[in-house]
Chain A
Amino acid sequence: MPSILGTRVKRVEDPRFLTVGGTYVDDLRDPRLDGALWLTFVRSSVAHARLASIDTSSAAAAPGVVAIYTFADLSVEPQLSMPAFNEAMKRPALADGVVRFVGEPIVAILTEQRSQGEDAAEFVVVDYDPLPVVVDPVEAAADEVLLFPEAGTNTAYGRVREPDPTLFEGCDAVVHMTLYNRRLAVAPLEVKGCAAVPAEDGRMVVWLSSQGAHTAVASLQAALGTEDLHIITPDVGGGFGAKNGASAEDIVVCRVAQLQGRAIRWAETRTENVLTMQGRGQVQTVTMGGTRDGRILAYRVDILGDAGAYPMIGAFLPMATRMMAPGVYDMPKVEVIARSVVTNTAPQMAYRGAGRPEATAAVERTIERFAAEIGMDAAEVRRRNLVPKFVEPHKTPVGTTYDIGDYPAALELVLEAAGYDALRKEQASRRAAGDRLQLGIGIATYVEITAFGGSEYARIEVKDDGSAVVYTGTSPHGQGHHTSFAMIASERTGIPIERINLVWGDTDLVPTGGGTGGSRSLQLGGSAVLQTTDLLVEEARQRAAQQLEANPEDLVLDTEAGRFHVAGSPTAGRTWAEVAGNDGLAVASDFTQPSGTFPFGAHVAVVEVDTETGQVELTRFIAVDDAGTMINPLIVEGQRHGGIAQGAAQALCEEFIYDADGNPLTSNLADFTFISTCELPSFELVPMETPTPMNPLGAKGIGEAGTIGATPAVQNAVVDAVAHLGVRHIDIPCTPERVWTAIQEASK
């Protein structure tokens, strides 16, 4: 029988999403939530101020108001999200005397009904005593306006280091640029939400819109002073890295439920979501030097991360950028300086790629600038500097060890699929004719890191009807784990995938888990399922042997029929149902991967730029993404599609903007230019599979790859389209205004 692995199985989890829309936190109609009170936050309307007074007396008298909470009422200690950050930069769940960004929660109002909370919030009077505001991370790095005066600095993580003055000695050509990797609204379609119920046995049941029930446990335990939590993540409508663990608001919801002894619900509005859930945000000062025949000798990137008002995971991500700074290139000298500073903007979360897109954007934009400087084709400069194919681990100058790679093959594959030479001819003819619509071709090659090592749990239980349940510590929110994990379990047991259920996101049913993020789930969670399946088959073989009074070594598992029998004698046998019996059969194990895996690929973007208006149209996008073994190509392609769209969006239109006073200018989906179907072509995907030796599946992560390659590919294409006019660089997003301005300035 041909293996089910590697085939385009349609997702088994789809029907309930298609027919009743699944069940997200706000959709829960669980009887435990009957009569739940509703929580509404009053948020700061200014970027930096002392709270002179908070008058809640009128609000308290509004219809339906049960209670009103400020920081002092909660008795929840401010938390430092990671131990590595500056200790003076702890975040209180509600503002403690000072607000540091627009959208910071100040007051929580508890009402009988949801609409009453919105009404009562209007009656809260906050008297702000304004403080100087710093929005630009470069200004923040000067430490003139301090967000935390007791810290004495705005640096949240990392340190300033003097660059090596000899780094570019011996280089004939050196290019230098400042790159802005802009802030984005993460904007999953489902906003955050939480419901909490203190149960009669003293436990707290919490439903979260989160990428991992288990990763939320520690912060909720610390805030609530109890370990007795039952955390459930129901269906989650996208996360993209920014729904990791529990948020400040989730903590308030749970604490209020604890104080009230009643069920509490909360869901944010879209504006609350985009004001609090942002990612990226780096200023990169890059320098690259080499010879005029195209050999790169040295590269420096000085990363200044914009952490926002309180250091969260986003403040750490310049270190992920540092790890992947050299990308796919064999550069003898690489220097990375990385730190992050606090500013009066939303605290930065992880966003699809989380530090790696920023690394690729920097090196891929810079190498094209270097190619322009020496007058060489950008593809050719890459060819001359790629790390050659390797099957033994490759250590880079920044100390990162890549598992396996063939970057030259990925580049040649994408260039061929794109018809690179023909595109260059077409471009030359349009340039010669002086066409209004000019063609741009942009390349990006990349390598990234996924999973970062670690372990994951799986348990498989076979029931007396022969069906199976897989328990996982990963936490699907769109990635199709039910289908992929069922395929893995089915392949070696013969239990059909439609008879395999998946349980996840429940701390009572699954003892441990790392959730889903960093493209970890298939390689860690899937490998755990594979490993546990093998253990299950062995356990079942022993039991079947007892039942058949045979030697276990003589038994074979017919995976077509899902039945054990003595080799060569199929008449007497035991099905999975019979082996499981009334007691059932269950096996659990943890799979550990010692370090990360390094997916790679190459992308080509083709754009048409209207030289009179600056309007960009992305006309083609061709991608080679090698994430190792594909379990289900349909799902892998879906991950690539979504990633490419988000990466292209960052290059073309998306940017979260604050004015100089820290007022957000893009605080809803009408103002934030979320990419739509009209701005995107159909993507041309080219398969490539180089299995990693790091896990038994050979799988690397695919969740973030598209995003990583797409942004610089599209940006490079836009610059390329107008390079003949003298343009050397355009910042992202490449809006018509920026492109038009670049053309005008080049023609001066």
Chain B
Amino acid sequence: MAEFPVSVTVNGQARRGTVEARKTLADWLRDDCNLTGTHLGCEHGVCGACTVIMDGVAVRSCLVFAVQADGSEVTTIEGLAAEDGTLHPVQDAFQKCHGLQCGFCTPGFIVSVASFLEEHPNPDDTEIREGLSGNICRCTGYQGILQAVKMAAETMQSA
């Protein structure tokens, strides 16, 4: 099958490769870049576990072809903490509020929340619930996650 060149800046690092046109961004990140933190929970755009930020917008990487990401900047879960290991305020809040249990949906939630808080720095409860409705979690009942979003918003506001 024909392959096409792609060049993507992933977590600040230039990545080049060739891919089949049908290969998703998620598979490319996982298989070609070995960034396995982007998880696949449904591969039909419902669960949100594969969420990454592409050119400033949260996208489901199972619904984006790698060729569509050519020339873009992508941030995955592996790119959120500081280089010295300091957690991003959203990551920190998830730990403090017990916003994760099995951890599988967590990368998608954290990336979604980080993106959501960029657009809604001071969200109310309804905005948070709607903002999270594109990610599903089987373990937490969303309770710790909602608290974590509030805590992260406060931390980021006061920073």
Cβ-based interface call for A198 (8 A): no
Chain B contacts for A191, CB-based, 8 A = 41
Beta-carbon contact of A635 and B98 below 8 Å:
yes
Shortest CB–CB separation between residue A63 and chain B, in angstroms? 9
Cβ-based interface call for A291 (8 A): no
Cβ-based interface call for A73 (8 A): no
User: Which of B34, B104, B145 lies in contact with A190, CB distance below 8 A?
Assistant: B104
- Whole-angstrom CA separation of A634 from B148 in the bound complex: 13
Interface size class of A (residues with CB under 8 A): 35 or more
Cβ-based interface call for B60 (8 A): no
Chain A contacts for B139, CB-based, 8 A = 189, 238, 478, 638, 642
User: Which of A115, A641, A678 lies in contact with B144, CB distance below 8 A?
Assistant: A641
Beta-carbon contact of A21 and B140 below 8 Å:
no
Shortest CB–CB separation between residue A621 and chain B, in angstroms? 9
Q: Within residues 6 to 26 of chain A, which ones have a CB less than 8 A from any CB in chain B?
A: 10-11, 14-15, 17-24, 26
Beta-carbon contact of A19 and B80 below 8 Å:
yes
- Whole-angstrom CA separation of A26 from B30 in the bound complex: 10
User: Which of B44, B77, B96 lies in contact with A21, CB distance below 8 A?
Assistant: B77
Interface digits, A22-46 against B, CB 8 Å rule (1 contact, 0 not)? Answer: 1110110100000000000000000
Cβ-based interface call for B137 (8 A): yes
Q: Within residues 1 to 32 of chain B, which ones have a CB less than 8 A from any CB in chain A?
A: 20, 22-23, 30
| Given A19-B87, A20-B78, A23-B36, A680-B98 contact (CB < 8 Å) | no
| Given A19-B87, A669-B46, A678-B133, A14-B94 contact (CB < 8 Å) | yes
Chain A contacts for B75, CB-based, 8 A = none
User: Which of B85, B94, B142 lies in contact with A680, CB distance below 8 A?
Assistant: B142
Shortest CB–CB separation between residue A340 and chain B, in angstroms? 25
Beta-carbon contact of B141 and A641 below 8 Å:
yes
- Whole-angstrom CA separation of A675 from B100 in the bound complex: 17
Beta-carbon contact of A634 and B102 below 8 Å:
no
User: Which of B44, B129, B141, B144 lies in contact with A668, CB distance below 8 A?
Assistant: B44
- Whole-angstrom CA separation of A588 from B100 in the bound complex: 31
Cβ-based interface call for A411 (8 A): no
User: Which of A21, A269, A646, A668 lies in contact with B103, CB distance below 8 A?
Assistant: A21
Shortest CB–CB separation between residue B39 and chain A, in angstroms? 6
- Closest A residue, CB atoms, query B38: A21
Interface centre among B37, B102, B110, B146 (most CB of A within 10 A): B102
Q: Within residues 73 to 120 of chain B, which ones have a CB less than 8 A from any CB in chain A?
A: 77-78, 80-81, 85, 87, 91, 94-96, 98, 100-107, 110
Beta-carbon contact of A270 and B100 below 8 Å:
no
- Closest A residue, CB atoms, query B143: A641
A-B pairs, 8 with minimum CB distance: A21-B37, A237-B104, A645-B141, A478-B102, A17-B103, A478-B101, A27-B36, A641-B141
Please give the residue numbers on chain A whose beta carbons come within 8 Å of chain B beta carbons, in ascending order.
Answer: 10-11, 14-15, 17-24, 26-27, 29, 115, 187-191, 235-238, 240, 269-270, 477-480, 634-635, 637-638, 641-646, 668-670, 674-678, 680, 682-683, 706
